[in-house]
Homo-oligomer: A and B are copies of this chain.
Amino acid sequence: MVRARSGTTEETPTTSVGAPGVGRRTFLTGGAGAVAGAAATWLGTRAAADPAAPAPTPEDAAGTATVPWRGEHQAGVVTAPQAFGTFLAMDLADDVDRDALVRLMRVWTDDVDRLTTGRGGLSDTEPELAEVPARLTVTLGLGPGFFTAADLEAQRPAWLGPLPAFGVDRLEDRWSGGDLVLQICADDPITVAHAVRLLTKEARSFASVRWVQQGFRNAPGTTPSGQTMRNLFGQVDGTTNPRTGTDDALIWAGGDGVPAWLEGGTTMVVRRIAMDVDRWDELDRTGREIVVGRDLDTGAPLTGGAEHDEVDLEATNELGFPVIDIASHVRRSRTSDPTQRILRRAYNYDVPPKPGRLSSSGLIFVAFQADLEHQFIPLQRRLDEMDLLNEWTAPIGSAVFAVPGGVRTEGEYLAQRLLEG
């Protein structure tokens, strides 16, 4: 079992995980070279005349920004969510063994190094499409089949497999499972499409595509910093996320019982949640707010305040009934145990509807947590038992992955501490 690590000192200052503020910081550090140069050119003498003035953002700033990918952790977990995310699960070919996996990891590591810094891959036939890194991150997760192929069953964590069956599940095979996953996120959809293409192509003699889920949030520069994403029900989504710095132990695996390859890594759940927008439409605004427990406009708890204020679960109305319904989503997803929180990093999906339907949309629900059994599963059990929102949502896909720690040094490759450990 993976235990949450505590007491780790991180170099990252305390910022809200998942808030665009992190992106701004990443942008100012990671993409500093390219950006500073462009700003200077664009501003000419004015910047020189008033060095204290905030530099205007150059017009392609969202494209030139990069996220450092080497370090104790993989990028793409506490990275402020980029606008676009593609989740690509693959199944390994029958003849793939540990040596083959080492080759695949070496190739992908080189690709990640190049693509996230705006350079085409070695076998890239469209390197022009790599020129806009747009905060690209590539995050690798391993499914159970990876350990089987590598003949490393002894290293496979006990929790790595399908989640327990939940009553709400309407799982389809075509959105579930996978021997490995790549989470590929960037602020430009062409960057994502090109990275997916290259990484898939590089893997073609090792693995085939099992499923692909394509998601989106607001485009870069369309909403103010710090604004929480809305899902396609119109709800703010991700308000109570753990924060880097103070909540690292909830995010990153480490400590007793955690294998070396998972140190600095995490656990990842990807669930495809169909949202029945057509039936949700029939519910009036008051009804919706009762279901969620929050004001739809501001995202504030129905007990008052602002979006990030605490929900008052004890408050009652003039009749003595709880203001926050006993079965509301905000109450059921809340825990009195602060170590049970998870890091949500969801994307909307919206695909062409089936004949006779108006829409087919929902959420690619992505959660990272240090300890799947202690954090994600109790939360999901509570929501499964009772959550008014279950009436309008249904999980149609589910997969669990182990996210290895980051690539710490040059020459190292992804998952090396597992494959050579």
Please list the residues of chain A having a beta carbon within 8 angstroms of any beta carbon in chain B.
46, 50, 53-57, 59-63, 83-84, 125-129, 132, 134, 187-191, 193-194, 196-197, 200-201, 204, 208-209, 211-214, 216-225, 230, 232-234, 277, 280-281, 285, 296-297, 348, 350-353, 355-359, 361
Contacts and interface: CB of A to CB of B under 8 A. Distances in A.
Chain A at the B interface: SS class: loop
Contacts of A196: 350, 359
A353 B212 contact: yes
Nearest to A189: B216
Contact of A221 (B213, B221, B285, B358): B221
Nearest to A187: B219
Given A220-B221, A234-B128, A56 B54 contact: yes
A60 B211 contact: no
Nearest to A285: B125
Q: How many copies does the complex hold?
A: 2
B128 A224 contact: no
A222 B134 contact: yes
Contacts of A63: 218-219, 221-223
Going nearest first, the 4 A-B pairs with the smallest beta carbon separation are A56-B56, A63-B222, A126-B234, A212-B352
A46 B53 contact: yes
A224 B348 CA distance: 28
A37 to B, nearest CB: 13
A48 to B, nearest CB: 12
A230 B190 contact: yes
Nearest to A283: B125
Given A57-B57, A57-B59, 9 more contacts: A134-B219, A188-B219, A189-B218, A208-B356, A209-B353, A209-B355, A209-B358, A213-B352, A220-B220
Contacts of A209: 352-353, 355, 357-358
B60 A296 contact: no
Contacts of A351: 214
Nearest to A217: B190
A296 B218 contact: no
A133 to B, nearest CB: 9
B356 A222 contact: no
A201 B358 CA distance: 7
Contacts of A218: 63, 132, 188-190
B128 A222 contact: no
Given A128-B230, A209-B353, A46 B56 contact: no
A189 B219 contact: yes
A190 B54 CA distance: 30
B223 A60 contact: yes
Contacts of A216: 189-190, 193
Contacts of A277: 197
A95 to B, nearest CB: 17
Contacts of A350: 189, 193, 196, 214
Nearest to A47: B53
Nearest to A200: B358
Contacts of A233: 126
A253 to B, nearest CB: 30
Contacts of A225: 59
A285 B127 CA distance: 11
A356 B196 CA distance: 16
10 contacts: A62-B222, A63-B222, A126-B232, A126-B233, A126-B234, A134-B222, A191-B222, A197-B359, A211-B352, A219-B220
A273 B334 CA distance: 48
